[in-house]
Structure 1
Amino acid sequence: MVPSSGSMKFLFSVYCLCCSLALAVTFSLIKSKHNDTGSKLYPTHPEDNATSLADPCSPEGFDAVTLDDKGLMHYFRGHYVWKGFRTPAAFINATWPEIEGPIDAAFRIHHKNQPEAHERMYLFKDDLVWAYYDGKLVAGFPRRISEEFPGVPGHLDSAVECPSGECKSDTVLFFKEGSVYVYVLGETPAVKKRAWPLPQSCSAAVRWLEKYYCFHGVNFTRFTPVSFEIPLGYPLDTRDYFIHCPGRGHGFETRRNYTFLSVKDRCSNRSFDAFSSDDSGRTYAFRGSYFFRTDSKRDGWHAWLLSHNWKELKGKIDAAFSWENKMYFIQGSQVTIFLSDQFYTLVQGYPRPSQEELGIGELDAAFTCPHSSQLYVIKGNKIQMVDLKLSPRATEQEKVIVHVHVDGAMCNTEGVHIFSGPFFYRYTDVASLLSAKELPEAHRISTEIMECTQ
């Protein structure tokens, strides 16, 4: 039996309606937070094939980005979350069943004065906030944002933590529309409202390895958390830096330059030029024009240009050390000094000759120990001490050490470290280094400091 023309029209209309509904549902699954109703569209245990609907490389951007208490980066969009750089999408409520996506903001709190709250991960939606630690919901949550963070509005655009040392005190920056609510933990009143300098607010924000990033759509911009200063060269595309997308990535033109890559590769076994540790525990490894932050390894690794932290600094570092909230860099016969505050600021009048400033000439390595004014300078197999409290400064009588060649040296709460080639040697203190008659056990820099497999 052949259907009538009227029946055919009716069936075609039904078919078109079904297709429209299917497209509408699919579109609602992947929209950003600003256009989503937030209705519970997902089962508690979604089927695996549902994750194919979410593509981290699509140009929609993210609703929130944060690290958790294990140092794993999380990217949120709609009802989805990506955990790490290369993982497939999962539903938010599969990990945090107490909350339905999309979320508005997220951050990992830095609150050293309240150890029970330190490093909790906070998720925000509408007027509520959830707190998690070790993957578990903290008792008493969810609660209203106004109760947990008085003075902070609901329906946020984004949020990011700012630890003491990078901000004046442990702080959280909350973004909404054209304003930033600067919330200083432990102060009353805690909130100060400031204007955000960019024309668009941050749809997501994150702190990673001392750097602060504002996401807007598919792009991101780096900024300083105190002055909101934005370096030249931004915005950049998130898909070239923060997530793995086929055929994309920054520095593509240099990938065949293996010499250049070995400088930026912490695991290349290429020697480092210098190491430094300050009284707050910040530890840096220097190689060429780049540096690595080694004490924040839990949150990941990255080779940064020196100018990212020390704007005026360029070229190879011979030695670096800290004293009285200042960081000293020695390059050839010159010394450059930066104030170590919320960010590094060049001291006026530098660089200047190290002979005039420190009473020393060219060297191979230098170090100070925590809260000590005694600077130790190594050249070849000789070591001398300079008391930084004295003026004028001068070296004391040199002594011989068992190391014939030294690339760098550092002293921290674990002792004195001498770096030579791919190895380092640990001494309990300076006296142990001076009295040693033979080399102690050699340790690999790559495996024990830089967390490489070999």
Structure 2
Amino acid sequence: MTALLAAWCLCCSLAFASSYPLIKSKPNDTGSNLLHEGHNNTGMADRCSDRGFNAITLDDKGVMYYFRDQYVWKGYIGPAELINDTWPEVPVPVDAAFRIHHRNKPEVHERMFLFKGNKAWAYYENKLEPGYPKLITDVFPGVPGDLDSALECPAGECKSDSVLFFKGKSVYTYDLSDPSAVKERQWPLVQNCTAAVRWLGKHYCFQDTMFTRFNPVTGEVHPGYPLDTRDYFISCPGRGHGHETRRNATLMSIKNRCSNRSFEAFTSDDSGKTYGFRGGWYFRMDSKRDGWHAWSIGSTWKGLKGTVDAAFNWENKMYFIQGSQVTIFLSDQIYSMVQGYPKPLQDELGMQQVDAAFTCPHSSDLYIIKGNTLSLVDLKNTPRVPGQESSIIHSNVDSAMCNSQGVHIFTGASFHRYKDPNELLQAKELPEARNIAAEFLDCTQ
């Protein structure tokens, strides 16, 4: 796949206006393609015109496609291409497109669907699946033809793995586990979606050049919308946020996932989402199917600014340590700061400064690293007081994290993995050094 992965600034609370996402094309993509504008020079079509798109979707590789008329744009930048050069079987223009999330049917999961009239085409790696095209009613019983748009809605965001189909003022929720239970609704603020897409747990309706983020269960629209697609989703001359700072070498290095620049913090939450923090920005480490992007921390954790020194998760809460302060956010569909924070780290954890901190899944034990020592705090206790310090083989630790694969100790561009905290405490020699960019961020070294 040579197409660039879509990178577009989405966020929980509109603070993402200052963020500029990193683009992925190939595993060893360093992001250097951000140094030029890459606007369409073919004369075929202008993605930055005052017209919207007929459809927007991610494919099975995490590449974002923007469809309009007979053209498609692949990724945040890049020229217009003819749709039929990639998908010769589909009549143009397409009506709608989405990537399906159907874990119970591996033969369907991750397929990209294109719709035209009353028919559907399913593709995997841009190859038409056997038996397609099919009638929409045969693939998705109860869903009408001539759709406006569609998007996936995995379990946890919707009640179960589902697809939302939009037509005019109606939205049809199609439950993949119960195909007979199609629900038709009308949401006053989410209507006439000329395109729709789901990205990293967030759901968007496009109405020509404007877009709105909405709740896929209730149809509620988040504050501050609509916004212009050309300022956030696609690269347009003289538009967008951070246009000049994109040329700053330091910022480019921070936002380039493959730069081997160190991370100040790592953590994973109860749902398995993994985050790496660097210079006031963060990456979702578990988001390969949706591509690699750098976001400002304030775009997801509203009110959080600056560098994160350490981060950990406990009981559906994310703790961020910055210098001598700690801030806690409730982990929900939208992260919200716990009232009364930030607070002094001394009051919260009984110490004034830390180098790294981590909890393991389903445990109240917080391990704190300072220098070459490790101490334990039981988060269930009040007040929280660190236990006796024990020496570890590491020094100058940047960050630490514990997940289902074990304990990870990060230093510079490398990390070391241990089975559990006891193995870390007992280690006399460093285990094999592993590369962060290669193993967490899909970079070829």
TM bin (shorter chain): 0.7 to 0.9
Q: Which of 214, 224, 247 matches 1:232?
A: 224
Counterpart position of 1:70: 61
Q: Is the 8 A contact 1:166 1:343 kept in 2?
A: no
Return the letter of the residue paired with 1:301: W
Q: Equivalents in 2 of 1:67, 1:282: separation in Å?
A: 19
Residues 204 and 396 from structure 1, CA distance in 2 versus in 1: closer, same or farther, beyond 3 angstroms?
A: same
Residues 439 and 256 from structure 1, CA distance in 2 versus in 1: closer, same or farther, beyond 3 angstroms?
A: same
Counterpart position of 2:189: 197
Q: Equivalents in 1 of 2:128, 2:97: separation in Å?
A: 14
Deviations 1:217-267 (A, max 9, x none): 2343444545543343751243x5444556665411223443444333334
Secondary structure class of the residue paired with 1:212: strand
Q: Equivalents in 1 of 2:279, 2:226: separation in Å?
A: 24
Q: Which of 199, 204, 222 matches 1:208?
A: 199
Counterpart position of 1:424: 415
Residues 433 and 205 from structure 1, CA distance in 2 versus in 1: closer, same or farther, beyond 3 angstroms?
A: same
Counterpart position of 2:74: 83
Q: Is the 8 A contact 1:320 1:330 kept in 2?
A: yes
Q: Is the 8 A contact 2:121 2:133 kept in 1?
A: yes
Q: Is the 8 A contact 2:265 2:398 kept in 1?
A: yes
Secondary structure class of the residue paired with 2:244: helix
Alignment pair present for 1:291 and 2:276 = no
Q: Equivalents in 2 of 1:349, 1:453: separation in Å?
A: 44
Q: Is the 8 A contact 1:92 1:100 kept in 2?
A: no
Counterpart position of 2:357: 366
Q: Equivalents in 2 of 1:341, 1:150: separation in Å?
A: 32
Q: Which moved more, 1:135-144 or 1:70-79?
A: 135-144
Residues 443 and 84 from structure 1, CA distance in 2 versus in 1: closer, same or farther, beyond 3 angstroms?
A: same
Counterpart position of 2:119: 128
Alignment pair present for 1:406 and 2:397 = yes
Q: How big is the shift at 1:399?
A: 0.7
Q: How big is the shift at 1:400?
A: 0.9
Secondary structure class of the residue paired with 2:254: helix
Residues 162 and 360 from structure 1, CA distance in 2 versus in 1: closer, same or farther, beyond 3 angstroms?
A: farther
Residues 181 and 289 from structure 1, CA distance in 2 versus in 1: closer, same or farther, beyond 3 angstroms?
A: farther
Q: Equivalents in 2 of 1:281, 1:385: separation in Å?
A: 23
Q: Which of 157, 171, 186 matches 1:166?
A: 157
Q: Is the 8 A contact 1:223 1:231 kept in 2?
A: no
Q: Equivalents in 2 of 1:364, 1:237: separation in Å?
A: 40
Q: Equivalents in 1 of 2:62, 2:229: separation in Å?
A: 23
Return the letter of the residue paired with 1:195: W
Q: TM-score, normalised by structure 1?
A: 0.78
Unaligned runs of 5+ in 1: 1-50
Bigger radius of gyration, 1 or 2?
1
Residues 392 and 249 from structure 1, CA distance in 2 versus in 1: closer, same or farther, beyond 3 angstroms?
A: closer
Alignment pair present for 1:113 and 2:98 = no
Deviations 1:300-321 (A, max 9, x none): 2222122322224333222212
Counterpart position of 2:320: 329
Secondary structure class of the residue paired with 1:252: coil
Alignment of 1:241-280 (within 5 A): 241-245=232-236, 250-280=241-271
Counterpart position of 1:27: none
Secondary structure class of the residue paired with 2:423: helix
Q: Equivalents in 2 of 1:301, 1:73: separation in Å?
A: 12
Q: Whose helix proportion is higher, 1 or 2?
A: 1
Q: How large is the Cα RMSD of the aligned pairs? A: 2.9
Residues 338 and 172 from structure 1, CA distance in 2 versus in 1: closer, same or farther, beyond 3 angstroms?
A: farther
Alignment pair present for 1:395 and 2:369 = no
Q: Which of 139, 145, 159 matches 2:136?
A: 145
Q: Equivalents in 2 of 1:407, 1:230: separation in Å?
A: 36
Q: How big is the shift at 1:55?
A: 3.8
Q: Equivalents in 2 of 1:353, 1:180: separation in Å?
A: 47
Q: Is the 8 A contact 2:297 2:305 kept in 1?
A: yes
Unaligned runs of 5+ in 2: 1-41
Q: Equivalents in 2 of 1:167, 1:329: separation in Å?
A: 28
Deviations 1:5-35 (A, max 9, x none): xxxxxxxxxxxxxxxxxxxxxxxxxxxxxxx
Q: Which moved more, 1:301-310 or 1:86-95?
A: 86-95
Q: TM-score, normalised by structure 2?
A: 0.79
Return the letter of the residue paired with 2:369: I
Q: How big is the shift at 1:298?
A: 4.3
Q: Is the 8 A contact 2:143 2:182 kept in 1?
A: no
Question: How many residues are treated as equivalent by the alignment?
Answer: 402
Alignment pair present for 1:56 and 2:35 = no
Counterpart position of 2:20: none
Q: Is the 8 A contact 2:409 2:416 kept in 1?
A: yes
Q: Equivalents in 2 of 1:223, 1:270: separation in Å?
A: 35
Secondary structure class of the residue paired with 1:112: coil
Q: Is the 8 A contact 1:214 1:223 kept in 2?
A: yes
Q: Is the 8 A contact 2:212 2:221 kept in 1?
A: no
